Amino acid sequence: MIKILVSDPLSEEGIKILTEVKEFQVDVKTDLTPDTLKEVIKEYDALVVRSATKVNKDIITAAGKLKVIGRAGVGLDNVDLEAATQKGIIVMNTPAGNTISTAEHTVSMILSLSRNIPQANMSMKQGEWKRSKFMGVELYNKVLGIVGFGRIGSEVAKRALSFGMKVLAFDPFLSVAVAQGMGVEVVEFKDILERSDYITVHTPLTEETKHLISTEAFAKMKKGVRIINCARGGIIDEKALAEAVKEGKVIGAAIDVFEQEPVAADNELLKLPNVIVTPHLGASTEEAQVNVAIEVAEIVRDALLGRGIRNAANYPCLEAEVCKIIEPYITLAERLGLFGSQLVEGRLQELHITYSGDIIQHDITPVTLALVKGLLTPILQETVNFINAVALAKERGIAISEVKSSKEHEFTTLIQLEIRTDKVTKRIYGTLSANKQPRIVKIDDYYLELSPMGEMIFIQNWDKPGVIGNLGTLMGKENINIAAMTFGRDAPGGKAISVLNVDSAVSAQVQEKIRKVENILTVKVIRV
């Protein structure tokens, strides 16, 4: 008997899908303490959660039989993905289940902002009749700027276009042709800030997107702009937003997600009459909850019955013996994608992968999936996984090709990744070391040996005496320990690349100091 534990409330439609399988024993226990969960998880083959249950390393370590964790929702903040991966536990989520719900909530917020609906409702219930106080604006002919054009962003765009709005979209992975086919104009982030009457964000929260909408961003916006966030708390700097509202730069804001949830009573946004707030309701519709319950039940059922794996966040291949052989290549490919995505500039257009050496004896499909997942992860985060990565890339108009080459190289196995954007073409070559660890051995025409791991400072510089010493001195002054350094050059005295693996985060201020070092041309921080 396969035992499944459902530890958070799940719609009956999802529970029914699991209980109908005669091989399953399904236990619904929704108020388990962490200690109790740690004790009982030993008995179960699968765990189904929403956001309340914290599946940390201790829980995973205690799980003797666990094969599958299903998350009814998009985010995986409450699941230790690394610990699960190390133990061979498949982790799956439901990235599409709340798409329509969140898109509709976003549009509801836009309409409420435009017509002052919550404020007028409150006024009337206080016995007032002040029509002139709540003069609104039309959406027709207004400019909506969408930051992040994935599933939810594109659904918002469809609805905004139906109101006669002009829609601008910023998304590094969005094809111009795909957007134009929808009637959407692809622009840079600064254009969103400068041209939009409304700005809505639909990106994951990452180090790059944290406080993306900041004091500096507000300074570039039109006076009277309206701001909406139904994505993730922290993308908008709440203190900066409050100040922009009080100064009149932002005429209104509608916020569903916050940096701290539940929201502190002293949060300034709660005190501003032209800021509409809701308690993280984006996915809170009956339909969305049913959709994610059905989806998580189906993917858990199918995984346990050997019918295939969908929406896997950490498991690109299915057969254990195959995984054992190609797992090092999968790790290498994902690291190459992560590295390349952060290295290039411009809008992704084409991805060409060439496999050569020992790897061509095997099915390379899981390796390609891992590479594309790595490429998309810096922007899409938990919404991309090993199963949907290629489909998401194609949705955004990124052309993908792969070939096996019998051409001999100096390396036993080589994966060559060529990334083309609207600005550059970049080639990155990866292989495995003798102990099966991923290595980047060439970038364009520069040979080097780089371990793509952790925090890296990627520098282009002139090959002149003193550069390395100056960098070491600066890192010492900033108390940043250098774990490894690797270099490559095209000719003595010519252009070179220097990559520093470091043990701590490199701030924007430190990056600026590096740029001012003599003979430094460009600086970029890459996190893998």
194 as an active site residue: the answer is: no
Per-residue pLDDT, 384: 83
Tell me which of 12, 261, 319, 512 is the catalytic residue. 261
If you count DSSP H runs as helices and E runs as strands, how many of each does the chain have, helices first? 17, 22
Cβ neighbours around 486 below 10 Å, total:
16
Given pLDDT bands bounded at 50, 70 and 90, which one contains residue 448? very high
Per-residue pLDDT, 172: 84
Pick 20 or 314 by higher pLDDT: 20
259 as an active site residue: the answer is: no
232 as an active site residue: the answer is: yes
Q: Which amino acid, residue 46? A: A
SS3 per-residue string spanning 428-489: EEEEECCCCCEEEEEECCEEEEECCCCEEEEEEEECCCCHHHHHHHHHHHCCCCEEEEEEEE
C-alpha distances in Å from residue 428, one per residue of 239, 415, 446, 473, 490: 41, 8, 10, 29, 15
Per-residue pLDDT, 27: 96
Rg of the chain, C-alpha, whole Å:
25
Assess whether pLDDT exceeds 70 at residue 194. Answer: yes
372-392 tens-digit pLDDT = 999 999 888 877 877 778 888
How many residues are there in the chain? 528
State the chain's mean pLDDT as an integer: 92
Per-residue pLDDT, 299: 93
Q: Domain 1-95+285-315, what fold?
A: Rossmann fold (3.40.50)
440 - beta bridge partners? 430, 450
Largest CA distance in the chain: 83
Assess whether pLDDT exceeds 90 at residue 224. Answer: yes
Tell me which of 280, 352, 362, 427 is the catalytic residue. 280
Assess whether pLDDT exceeds 80 at residue 72. Answer: yes
109-156 tens-digit pLDDT = 999 999 999 999 999 999 999 999 999 999 999 999 999 998 899 999
Per-residue pLDDT, 278: 97
Pick 177 or 304 by higher pLDDT: 304
Distance CA 423, CA 112 (A): 40
Per-residue pLDDT, 389: 84
Pick 251 or 174 by higher pLDDT: 251
The segment(s) of the chain belonging to CATH 3.40.50.720 are 1-95+285-315, 99-277
* pTM for this prediction: 0.76
Tell me which of 71, 151, 202, 232 is the catalytic residue. 232
Per-residue pLDDT, 322: 62
280-315 tens-digit pLDDT = 999 899 999 999 999 999 999 999 998 878 888 876
- Helix axis angle for 117-125 and 99-115, nearest 10°, is 60
**Which H/E stretch holds residue 198?**
strand 198-201
Assess whether pLDDT exceeds 70 at residue 206. Answer: yes
Average pLDDT of the residues in 173-178: 84
Per-residue pLDDT, 320: 52
Per-residue pLDDT, 48: 97
Distance CA 257, CA 255 (A): 6
159 Cβ contact list (under 8 Å, min separation 6): 103, 104, 107
Per-residue pLDDT, 95: 82
CB of 230 within 8 A of CB of 256?
yes
501-528 tens-digit pLDDT = 999 999 999 999 999 999 999 999 999 9
Distance CA 55, CA 417 (A): 35
CB of 89 within 8 A of CB of 69?
yes
Per-residue pLDDT, 62: 94
Domain 99-277 superfamily per CATH: NAD(P)-binding Rossmann-like Domain (3.40.50.720)
393-405 tens-digit pLDDT = 888 889 999 999 8
